[in-house]
Structure 1
């Protein structure tokens, strides 16, 4: 990935969709108190009250998550049971995580499968995971999976995350060489500067995992 392509894609996305991003920031905020300890996750307040509403109103997945038989209690229970796997990844970021580490891969596999219940498909799984750890999990959809030639299952998702890290590192390293600074400094700059400021300072900083998703979405749904 070229740095200029990353920036252009994110800026186009932000210019077009800045208004609905309030829902994204609000969902992250409302889940902040349970992210470090999913044993406190509540079916009503967190899973149906935030995650379900996020999938409907931000993700445009009303038909998917509104299906009769989708068991939100089961999802809550499975997320709680996977709390140790989520904890393994808590505090890490896309840049510093090692996707070749067996324990890391196992944690991602376990968290993915925890969300993999009836009527929750690969796209929705990634959105739920991102809400629970926005630093590591990158969202995807069918077009993005086709672009990167990955399968819509747990192993495919690990391969996707590994590829996303490699792609964004390439772009950041290019910019770091131009500026004579570190990759980490470039990452902090784009996470701070690229998101729209129209919602105010409080909602103007995103994670690198979210920045990559915006680029991916724009590059697969629009021509750069």
Structure 2
């Protein structure tokens, strides 16, 4: 059960350590005890993925909700588009590394354009490219924003 995952002291320690990280600055190879931050991510992801009814997509989403500034969600389509075997902890860590690289690239690009807020820039670019979210998606985003302010 997911409650067992959260109550596990080893997992609590990993979650606490990673709670101070974000996608822009994390160093996956940084040592933490006798392991690395990347290995912590793989272990948490692997443990969650094995929970009944969670799977690889659910594991990435659950981790995202534990730290929205670090964990990027994925699903089968995203795995395929990045040529990763869905479900693999190593694949998820590689994907996270690619997302860090992408975030850095986007930050560098918007600086060249005189922009400073990556989130605002991405929202404008998505709209310019024809992104038209559904009402449920907008409600999901609204709920996310509201819950973050509490």
The answer (yes or no) to whether the contact 2:23–2:103 under 8 Å persists in 1 is: no
Secondary structure at 1:130 match in 2: helix
Matched, 1:84 2:48: no
**2:101 aligns to what?**
166
**2:46 aligns to what?**
113
Task: Identify if the C-alpha distance between structure 1 residues 85 and 193 changes in structure 2 by more than 3 Å, giving closer, same or farther.
Answer: farther
Offset of 1:168 from its aligned partner? 2.1
Secondary structure at 2:26 match in 1: coil
TM-score, length-normalised on structure 1?
Answer: 0.49
Matched, 1:99 2:33: no
Question: How many matched pairs?
Answer: 127
Task: Identify if the C-alpha distance between structure 1 residues 199 and 88 changes in structure 2 by more than 3 Å, giving closer, same or farther.
Answer: closer
Q: Structure 1: how far apart are the matches of 2:48 and 2:105? A: 31
Q: Structure 2: how far apart are the matches of 1:158 and 1:166? A: 12
The answer (yes or no) to whether the contact 1:126–1:137 under 8 Å persists in 2 is: yes
Q: Flag the structure with more relative contact order, 1 or 2, with Cα contacts below 8 A and sequence separation at least 6.
A: 1
Task: Identify if the C-alpha distance between structure 1 residues 90 and 153 changes in structure 2 by more than 3 Å, giving closer, same or farther.
Answer: same
Q: Structure 1: how far apart are the matches of 2:120 and 2:57? A: 28
CA RMSD, Structure 1 to Structure 2 (Å): 3.1
| Unmatched runs of 5 consecutive residues or more in structure 2 | 127-137
Q: What is the aligned counterpart of 2:112 among 161, 165, 177? A: 177
| Unmatched runs of 5 consecutive residues or more in structure 1 | 1-73, 206-224
Where do 4+ consecutive residues of structure 1 move more than 4 Å?
A: 188-196
The answer (yes or no) to whether the contact 1:95–1:169 under 8 Å persists in 2 is: yes
